[in-house]
Copies of this chain bind each other. A is one copy, B any other.
Amino acid sequence: MEKIENANAESLRRMLHADPVLVDVQPAGKVIKGLGEGVILHSGPPIAWERMCGPMQGAVCGIAVFEGWADNLRQAQNAAAAGRFTFHPNHHFGAVGPMTGMTTVSQPVFIVENRAFGNRAFCTINEGLGKVMRFGGNDAEVLNRLRWIADVLGPALSAALRQCGGIPLKGLIARGLAMGDEMHQRNVACSSLFLREIAPSLAATVGGSKRLAEIFAFIAGNDQFFLNIAMAMAKAITDPAKDIAGSTVITSMCRNGADFGVQVSATGDDWFTAPVEVPTGMYFPGYSERDANPDMGDSAIVETIGLGGFAMATAPAVAGFVGGGAASEASQYTRAMYEITIGRNPDWTMPNLDYAGVPTGIDIRKVLRTGILPYINTGIAHREPGIGQVGAGIARAPLACFEQALVAVATSLGIA
């Protein structure tokens, strides 16, 4: 099938030649068309209110209060049940969001521009760890933090990014990989490098030393701060690889807490879904698998470009955190992912594998031929709304998604 090989090569070429730059932070409503009152973007493939899991319903209620569409959580829940909100996947709007993935009009979003192809992608700002909206948190503490992010942090990051002309991400990720980040469950290096890079511009543009100190303390207090930037970057990288006739390369993987969804280049925005599993992982003290929600979030977009579970070899410290076994076994995950990908990224290399590039371009044919499913390093949310993260683990993309996708691509080529 030369046509498929050529199409796949083109998908890979577009991913490898991306030039993602973090250019700005703006309120989502200003940069994402179609947002407005009652419109809520969520993670994963499409889902109706009734089928949403506990933490996602909790986040919906919280964000409705945050946006002023309801006075309290109870009212928000009634409004949702009465169909007064419109739900869409982030992916339909050039956006991505971690875990519950709420994106609404007033929230500031990172804007990553792919300068090689001229497209842009968006992701909200990471709220930190513990009780946060992405894990279903929705009380006053959570909403006040979101307000501070919207009123103080977002505008400050915007001014700083404009002052320095944006932060190119390709080289930053390369450095982060050499420092043990896989950019999904471990972002300590990139979060630190990001702060280091933007610090002079923040200092030059933020008025008031108290406010500036607060901003630094917030960013510095969160090892996962960079995750949302990595996600927007990954979305900016995968979007140009879409819609190539015959390409069997995956362009997105995501979960909404009920379904796992996959998109393939040849079939554009079509979703191939299957029930999502509970990750296999490690739980924080006091929690167990009984508390766990099935996997959630658009964050598997980082695996789609060869990071996260695919780059585990470079991040031995994350292997234990996600229950992936001994540090010395971390490279086995990456080696398995080479079996289902069509290339290696020469710009993103792993010292532990003597500078082999990360496995890039998941080919659904290779997944089906080998039976090897993509590894996704993920956080685990409590199944009840309002509690938050209870662990971290490894999720596998379900085989059924890839089976459906192959049939659809074959049909599009007139083969099936």
B180 touches A200 (CB 8 A): no
B213 touches A351 (CB 8 A): no
- Given A180-B178, A189-B189, A354-B327, A203–B196 Cβ distance below 8 Å? no
Q: For the complex, give the distance between the alpha carbons of A214 and B204 in Å.
A: 9
| 3 nearest A-B pairs in the assembled complex, by CB-CB distance | A192-B192, A316-B351, A199-B216
In the complex, what residues of B have CB within 8 A of residue A215's CB?
203
Chief secondary structure at chain A's binding surface: helix
In the complex, what residues of B have CB within 8 A of residue A205's CB?
209
A329 → chain B, closest Cβ, in Å?
9
In the complex, what residues of B have CB within 8 A of residue A327's CB?
351-352, 354-355
Residues of chain A in range 254-284 having any CB-CB distance to chain B below 8 Å: none
In the complex, what residues of B have CB within 8 A of residue A189's CB?
179, 189, 192
A188 at the interface (CB under 8 A from B): yes
A175 touches B201 (CB 8 A): no
Ordered by A's residue number, 16 sampled pairs between the chains whose C-beta atoms are within 8 Å are A175-B188, A179-B179, A192-B195, A195-B196, A196-B196, A196-B220, A200-B216, A200-B217, A203-B213, A204-B213, A206-B209, A212-B212, A328-B352, A328-B353, A328-B354, A352-B352
Chain B residue nearest to A327 (CB atoms) is B351
Chain B residue nearest to A329 (CB atoms) is B354
Q: Convert A340-353 into 0s and 1s, putting 1 for each residue whose CB lies closer than 8 angstroms to a CB of B.
A: 00000000000111
B175 touches A179 (CB 8 A): no
Chain B residue nearest to A223 (CB atoms) is B175
A193 at the interface (CB under 8 A from B): yes
Chain B residue nearest to A193 (CB atoms) is B192
Residues of chain A in range 159-184 having any CB-CB distance to chain B below 8 Å: 175, 178-180
In the complex, what residues of B have CB within 8 A of residue A214's CB?
200
A352 touches B204 (CB 8 A): no
Q: For the complex, give the distance between the alpha carbons of A180 and B349 in Å.
A: 14
Q: Convert A207-247 into 0s and 1s, putting 1 for each residue whose CB lies closer than 8 angstroms to a CB of B.
A: 10110111111011000000000000000000000000000
A197 at the interface (CB under 8 A from B): yes
In the complex, what residues of B have CB within 8 A of residue A206's CB?
209
In the complex, what residues of B have CB within 8 A of residue A201's CB?
213
Q: Convert A120-142 into 0s and 1s, putting 1 for each residue whose CB lies closer than 8 angstroms to a CB of B.
A: 00000000000000000000000
In the complex, what residues of B have CB within 8 A of residue A48's CB?
none
A326 at the interface (CB under 8 A from B): yes
A194 → chain B, closest Cβ, in Å?
9
A24 → chain B, closest Cβ, in Å?
19
With a 10 A CB-CB cut-off, give which of A193, A196, A201, A316 has the most chain B CB atoms. A196
A35 at the interface (CB under 8 A from B): no
Q: For the complex, give the distance between the alpha carbons of A210 and B214 in Å.
A: 19
Q: For the complex, give the distance between the alpha carbons of A234 and B178 in Å.
A: 25
In the complex, what residues of B have CB within 8 A of residue A178's CB?
180, 317
In the complex, what residues of B have CB within 8 A of residue A316's CB?
351-352
A203 → chain B, closest Cβ, in Å?
4
Q: Convert A310-330 into 0s and 1s, putting 1 for each residue whose CB lies closer than 8 angstroms to a CB of B.
A: 000000110000000011100
Q: For the complex, give the distance between the alpha carbons of A216 and B163 in Å.
A: 15
B179 touches A199 (CB 8 A): no
Residues of chain A in range 332-382 having any CB-CB distance to chain B below 8 Å: 351-355
Q: For the complex, give the distance between the alpha carbons of A196 and B200 in Å.
A: 12
B203 touches A209 (CB 8 A): yes
Chain B residue nearest to A163 (CB atoms) is B213
A348 → chain B, closest Cβ, in Å?
13
